[in-house]
Structure formats: C-alpha cells, structure tokens
Amino acid sequence: MSYQWPLALALHQLGTLIWIGGMFFAHFVLRPAATSRLGPPDRLPLMLAVFDRFFPLVWVSIVLLWGSGLWLFLGLAGGKVGVHVHAMMGVAALMTLIFTYIWFLPYRALGRAVAQADWPTAGGRLALIRRLIATNLTLGVVTALLGAAGPALSAAMRFA
C-alpha cells in the first residue's frame, strides 16, 4: 500500500481538527466565558478579533478537507466509495455554504458595527454568527462520525 492514502487521511484529519475543534472551543468555552465577564464594548471587539484569526484558518481547513477528500475519493479510491462518503460530501457542501455566508454577510456586518461602536447591531450579528456556528458544529460532528464509523456502516449495508 502506498503512502498516499495515509497522507491524504492525515491532511483530512488536520482539516477536521482545526475546523471542528475551533468551533467547539469558541462555542462552549470562549463565548460563555466572555459573556460572563465582559460587557458589549469589550466582548464584541474581542469576538471580532477571535474571528479575524479563526476564520482564515477555517478557509485553510476547507481547502484541506475538499482537497484531501477529493484526492481520496476520485484519485485513490477511483470513485468506488461507500455511501458514507457521499453523505459526508453532502453535509460538507452544506457546511461550506453556511461558512461562506457567515464570511460574506454577518462577519462583515459585525466588523462595520464594531468600528462604529454600534453595540446593538454588533450584538445582533454576533448572535446570528453564534447560531450558524452551532449549526455547523452539529453538522461537523455528524460528518466526523460518518468518517469514523462510515466504513463499517457501509460494509454492513452491503451485506445486509
């Protein structure tokens, strides 16, 4: 067996860890801690600064996941994959669309509102980003589980 399959899987795992792990930390750790300690004039610029650093890394993860995923799927497996990979691609496409929406709309609007110290508008944009990140986090966990348990599930479906 060549080194290519493990290399592609390692790149795939790296993308998964950065994106899903980053969303998990932002949603369950950073956000509640910031909300409990800081008022809007401190919390909203802090969250914007966090997104300024995290969101470019999400683009890196998306490139890693799609690049390595298509390499595994089309290049190494020759398109012959279990149904779990098709499900993975579908959910990943939805997650990519949701992130693209966050990037171009509420994230930009949050930046403008923070620059103008318009805290009610900034709070509204942050609330929308929080809901969309929670959605992508749920979808991401499902996708990672599909990746981990998928080969066994697809094999079970073939022999059922």
d(Cα 114, Cα 124) in Å, to the nearest integer?
A: 11
> 2 to 41, contacts with ligand HEM by CB under 6 A?
9, 12-13, 16, 20
CA triple 28-66-25, angle to 5 deg: 10
**Options 29, 70, 115, 149; binder of ligand HEM; rule CB under 6 A:** 70
- Using CB under 6 A, pick the residue from 7, 115, 148, 156 that binds ligand HEM: 148
Residue 12 has phi, psi (to 5 degrees) of -60, -45
Establish if 140 lies at the interface with ligand HEM (CB under 6 A).
yes
Which 94-133 residues touch ligand HEM, going by CB under 6 A? Answer: 95
Alpha carbon distance 38, 62 (integer Å): 32
Cα 149 to Cα 154: distance, rounded to the nearest angstrom: 9
Residues of this chain that bind ligand HEM (CB under 6 A) = 9, 12-13, 16, 20, 65-66, 69-70, 72-73, 77, 81-82, 85, 88-89, 92, 95, 140, 143-144, 147-148, 150-151
